Amino acid sequence: MAEILPIKGWRYHERFTDRIEELTSPLFDVVSKLQREALYENPYNSIHLSVPLGEEPALHAKEVLLDWKTKGVIVQDQLPGIYVYYQYFRLPGEEKESCRKGFIAQTKACDWEEKIVLRHEDTIPKAVNDRIELLKATQFQASPTHGLYEDPLHQLEPYMDKAIEDPIYDFDDYQGVREVLGVIHDAEIIKEFMQVIGERQIILADGHHRFEGAIAYRKEMASNNPDHSGSEGYNFHMMYLTNAHSKDLRILPTHRIFSQIEMEETEILEKLRPWFIIKKLNDVGEIEELILQKKWAFGLVFSKNAYKIRLIPEKINEMPDRFPSTVRELDLMIIHYFLVDKVLGIPLEEQRYSNQIEYERNLRRCLGKVNSGEASFSVITKEVAMTQVLDVCKSGQTMPQKSTYFYPKSLSGLLFASIEESEFKFPYQVFQNDTID
């Protein structure tokens, strides 16, 4: 099953501890244009490693990394550790504070076919290629992907709670989330983490592009290394692991924005009628509430009009037999099959390559792009249930791209991990029974 190791972490030098909020950044796939412009002005912000600038961004990141190491901007911890990572947050309308508990470790980048790390959604090829080039150039990871493990007994939580009492960092981030990082160096406790995870599969929650890039890099390096043992640094990938049985795991919806659609609103509605019940809305602000309690219901927003559309229940039988029930009944599969494929004429297998589809979590930005004429229309969706994510992963199927938005997002720059061999190597056998060279 899954194999993890503690991390010989790289972190900003302690002289930057009081400024850590200024040095961390949103993940590469959620950072907005305005955020990027502001963050690039700080020469030491982690965005220079996660979303580098220039005509050759990967090469630029490599140069920045070398400069930071030389100047002691970032330094490597001498002992490997399990880094405990807690995020405290409130969603709108909630009075009680939630806390997503987890830890960061090196995780073996097992191929999807091995069924050790399970994915739940498709990727967008260009984004994967960008991550591969960056990893090749730097052999460095500026942010962890997010994985889930299933442990109904919560065996690791007491160790994490203890470690977080003496944090390395404790600050509020750009999301308004309180970010707290601690570390465990005790070898016996680390063994416990490795044993618990070693008995389980990992479900990839966030970071499919980065993990797929790590798989590709591992394969390339292994094929070029006649002495490949499986223990080299390039086999591993930094991952933030949280318990799927935690009550504070939250998934938010990701809406769809469509551009350069040649059909007019009336034509789209007419083509929808064979499959959907359509109701015109008086107030676009009601959309999220109106679709919340209804299965296969969505908001459809044009520049002047908004609608609630809901699949006619019997039409589910027109979904192809190749889709198992775990996938065919998902809201997002309904919209990608009946609206995007059948109405707009963009085949399912081509949708993840399409430049006509954009993915946006923020409802206000969806409406703004449509109202300004920047987009043709948008589809407002509901969040995917955690049980659905687990069911899809275990079925071996995948959801449409950008199906889930696990909240809060982890940060870039809080902790770095190197897979360059001289920086990765350590006698890890002290943490486990089976020897790793």
Please tell me the predicted confidence (pLDDT) of residue 435: 42
**Binning pLDDT at 50, 70 and 90, where does residue 405 land?**
confident
Which H or E run includes 161? helix 157-163
Task: Specify which of 192-196, 354-358, 400-404, 427-431 reaches the highest per-range mean pLDDT.
Answer: 192-196
**Binning pLDDT at 50, 70 and 90, where does residue 125 land?**
low
**Whole-number percent of the chain with pLDDT over 70:** 98
Task: Determine the Cα–Cα distance for residues 89 and 172; give it in Å rounded to an integer.
Answer: 10
E strands of 19-126, at which residues? 74-76, 82-89, 98-108, 117-118
pLDDT at 264 over 80: yes
**Binning pLDDT at 50, 70 and 90, where does residue 436 land?**
very low
Work out the average pLDDT over 133-137: 94
Alpha helices in 41-111 (DSSP H): 47-50, 57-71
Which H or E run includes 330? none
Task: Determine the Cα–Cα distance for residues 338 and 202; give it in Å rounded to an integer.
Answer: 32
Which token pair is 92?
Answer: 């709108």
pTM for the full predicted model:
0.87
**Binning pLDDT at 50, 70 and 90, where does residue 437 land?**
very low
Please tell me the predicted confidence (pLDDT) of residue 7: 97
Please tell me the predicted confidence (pLDDT) of residue 434: 52
Mean pLDDT of the chain: 92
Task: Determine the Cα–Cα distance for residues 427 and 435; give it in Å rounded to an integer.
Answer: 9
Task: Determine the Cα–Cα distance for residues 392 and 426; give it in Å rounded to an integer.
Answer: 37
Work out the average pLDDT over 72-85: 97
* C-alpha R_g of the chain: 22
Tens-place pLDDT, residues 185-242: 999 999 999 999 999 999 998 888 899 999 999 999 999 999 999 999 999 999 999 9
- Interaxial angle between packed helices 125-138 and 208-223, expressed in degrees from 0 to 180 and rounded to the nearest 10: 50
**Binning pLDDT at 50, 70 and 90, where does residue 393 land?**
confident
Please tell me the predicted confidence (pLDDT) of residue 119: 87
pLDDT at 10 over 90: yes
Cβ atoms within 10 Å, residue 393: 25
Question: Looking at the DSSP assignment, which residues form a beta bridge with residue 145?
Answer: 239
**Binning pLDDT at 50, 70 and 90, where does residue 412 land?**
very high
pLDDT at 93 over 80: no
Please tell me the predicted confidence (pLDDT) of residue 232: 96
pLDDT at 25 over 60: yes
Q: Nearest-CA neighbor of 340 among 291, 295, 382, 379?
A: 379
Work out the average pLDDT over 152-158: 97
> Which of 47 and 130 is assigned the larger pLDDT?
47
Spatial CB neighbours of 431, under 8 Å, sequence gap ≥ 6: 5, 6, 80, 187, 190, 191, 194
